[in-house]
Structure 1
Amino acid sequence: RMQFSKVLSNSVTFCCVLSICAELSALNLGKEIHGHVIRTSMSDNILVQNALVNMYSKSGSLSEGNLVFEAIRDKDLISWNSMIKGYGMHGFGERALSMFDRMIESGVRPDGIALVAVLSACSHAGLVEKGREIFNSMSKKFGIEPQQEHYACIVDLLGRVGFLEEANEIVKSMPMEPKVCVLGALLNSCRVHKNMDIAENIATQLFSLEPEMTGSYMLLSNAYSASGRWEESAKVRALAKKKDLKKVSGSSCIVLKKKVYRFTSGSTVHSEFASIYP
């Protein structure tokens, strides 16, 4: 409508639209917007460049995101963070670490967001030693005290590889009360590795912190099931049902011919269900 009304787009317009494309992983639409950026001579605007890097990275088109990134003359913290996060979320932990090192060498000091991104990258790639090193040096090397998100990352990293005792000790040593993101990460790892001693203790903390959070009950129930303790699993589900807690169905979106379609797990009420599932 803006184009039909002959209203010119500016950097704010492009950043907003590209942000939406990034959240929806609408890569093709994002590429169209990139074309508009080039035609309106906004390619050298740092805000738009960062938005493009973020869009390509989140959409999984890391090579194109890197091309835009490398073309940025004066890369700022957002530029670096976008590429580090992109590599990390798509499983390229080593590349994320390499980008993190390049950022520091270039004189850009990481912030809390950058450290969350690189710790998350270590977690997804199983880079335990490097993750430990970065987490333990946050305060001394970068002057940043670990926050809930950083603790969640290191707990997830250790939990994924089965170092549950170490992860639990970190939770116990936190200078603040652990939040759901931290406790949930440890409880999920306990489910995977069938450690019910730690799981029951963490679940108790979660129920106290968020008594109406359905996910905590489901995690504990699934942990009991994974350990073959079916009776306890059923009791937890019964307790959740008694509290009238319901699991939110998973959903996903796709973009087809510039239209967004949302699908909910197990649903048969989509307006075009018959066409999709003939």
Structure 2
Amino acid sequence: MVPRGLDQNNFLLSKFIGTCSLLGFANYGYLVFTNKTHPDVYLYNTMIKGLSQTHSAKEAILLFNTIQSSGFRPDTYSFPFVLKAVIHLSAIELGREIHGQTIRFGLDSDVHVVTGLIQMYSVLAGICDARRLFDGMPLRDVVSWNAMVAGYAKVGDVDNARALFERMPERNVISWTAVIAGYAQMNRPNEAVTVFRRMQLEDVEPDEIAMLAALSACAHLGALELGEWIHNYIDKRGLNKIVPLTNALIDMYAKSGNIKKALEVFEKMKHRSVITWTTMIAGLALHGLGIEAMEMFYRMENARVKPNEVTFIAILSACSHVGLVDMGRRYFKCMSTQYQITQKIEHYGCMIDLLGRAGYLQEAQELVRGMPYEANGAVWGSLLAASRIHGDVELGECALRHLIEVEPHNSGNYTLLSNIYAAHGRWHEVGMVRKVMRDNRVKKMPGGSSIEVNNRVHEFIVGDKSHLQYERIYEVLYEMNWHLKMAEYVPKERGCLLEYVEG
């Protein structure tokens, strides 16, 4: 471009600087920009956009401030780009000042500018400010609707996000993705899956983010059929080279009970990140395959992939599942000595759980006393569970006293101690635990279960009659109970009914 004199063409130079930013050479693009003698506002916008997308948000704002001194007016593109830099810096006061500039320049009704302001206020100030701007827009396009829906989803207000989504005159894949991701983020996987299925029925092709959110929901629910459908979709679209997607597939298969398929996906991957290895190790640990998890860790080390703190949570959990105390001690120590990773409370929790399960109760208590963190519910819960396994009533009482302080309404803690007392025939103490629960108004959480039928996950709570087909469900349940009772009176040699029940 230079020998042909094209380096002074604002349009071509803008394309060049934009490409530099995309490739990670924003600093070089900025150097080229500073040597341009007569840039126009289009070139300024390109440079501000490039800087706002990198770690140069401050430079983007400084450059925006020079537009006017150079004899130009910020336009409908300048403001959305600089507002992204404001979000990067979490500079709400600066954002309000730029909002004032949009009013002075008469751009406070422009759909692109207001959309940028909605995004900024959603992240930094509060969803109410963003909603006021949205409601005051004379014209809205799908991008502005998406910004508002995504704003609600990001702050965890999924119900309002869904309500606004249902009112949208026009939707695109981003609209659907915002709602699905919002439900997944708020641990409402069933609704995430429902919206994803509806997205399919309306022939909207999911993007990478929608599939990541849906796979996360499938992993929570154990919705294997839908997870397999997403896997097939990924293969058909040639998206299996996208590492985050394959990582999510491994996690989904492992949590849905198909560890063999998770390993198959893992082995087919040509490029693996530290998250890939960690997800696979955690999946093996979840299935009680501690030895295999450690073998996977050795493979990770041989591949010269440096483990992170989450990897060690997975490997310590694997040691806990199979009772490899010495191995756990070695991994816990080598975190700091070999990998310079500071042990966090989660690592101490895993180690205390390992020692407690294996019966090293004294060592577990000493580790609790010596750790540089205040013990949380998970730590005391591990000691309470260990006290039940090994019948240590005194430790159980101590653990519960601390758990009442940090988790006063967790009924499971009281139930564990009650079971310890019952195992030792201390019925008076069992009654005292129940009295404490009544006095503290602790309600026992009802049990629940779920089943996937035709790509839909049905959830059931004890005593719940809200399911649309609950009458038919109870009819089948009563019929099964009747068959089981009848089977008790049928001799085995005449028991075709018994064989039916056992089948």
TM-score w.r.t. structure 2 length?
0.53
1:140-159 deviations in Å (ceiling 9; x for gaps) = 12222222221221111111
Among candidates 474, 483, 489, match of residue 274 of structure 1: 474
SS in 2 for 1:73: coil
- Check if 1:255 corresponds to 2:255: no
Among candidates 20, 35, 39, match of residue 236 of structure 2: 39
Distance in 2, matches of 1:275 and 1:13, equals 39
Q: CA shift at 1:4, angstroms?
A: 4.8
Among candidates 415, 436, 441, match of residue 218 of structure 1: 415
Root mean square deviation of aligned Cα = 1.7
Distance in 1, matches of 2:347 and 2:227, equals 31
CA separation of 1:208 and 1:7: change in aligned 2, threshold 3 A: closer
Partner of 1:197: 394
SS in 1 for 2:199: coil
Partner of 1:24: 221
> How does 1:120-159 map onto structure 2 within 5 Å?
120-159=317-356
In structure 2, what residue type is equivalent to 1:263? F
Partner of 1:93: 290
Partner of 2:314: 117
In structure 2, what residue type is equivalent to 1:273? I
In structure 1, what residue type is equivalent to 2:474? A
C-alpha contact 2:247 2:275 (8 A) present in aligned 1: yes
Q: CA shift at 1:2, angstroms?
A: 3.4
1:87-146 deviations in Å (ceiling 9; x for gaps) = 000010001001111112212111111111111111111122111211122211222222
SS in 2 for 1:2: helix
SS in 1 for 2:279: helix
Higher helix share: 2
CA separation of 1:209 and 1:274: change in aligned 2, threshold 3 A: closer
In structure 2, what residue type is equivalent to 1:239? V
Single out whichever of 235-244 and 178-187 deviates more from structure 2: 235-244
Partner of 2:272: 75
Distance in 2, matches of 1:236 and 1:35, equals 52
SS in 2 for 1:142: coil
Aligned residues with identical type, % of pairs: 39
C-alpha contact 1:60 1:86 (8 A) present in aligned 2: no
Distance in 2, matches of 1:31 and 1:275, equals 32
CA separation of 1:61 and 1:240: change in aligned 2, threshold 3 A: same
- If asked which structure has higher relative contact order (CA below 8 Å, sep 6+), I would say 1
Q: CA shift at 1:216, angstroms?
A: 2.5
Q: CA shift at 1:218, angstroms?
A: 2.2
Aligned residue pairs, count: 277
SS in 1 for 2:457: strand
Partner of 2:379: 182
Unaligned runs of 5+ in 1: none
Q: CA shift at 1:5, angstroms?
A: 4.2
Distance in 2, matches of 1:31 and 1:211, equals 41
1:185-214 deviations in Å (ceiling 9; x for gaps) = 111110121112222222222223333333
SS in 1 for 2:343: coil
In structure 2, what residue type is equivalent to 1:211? P
Among candidates 362, 367, 385, match of residue 170 of structure 1: 367
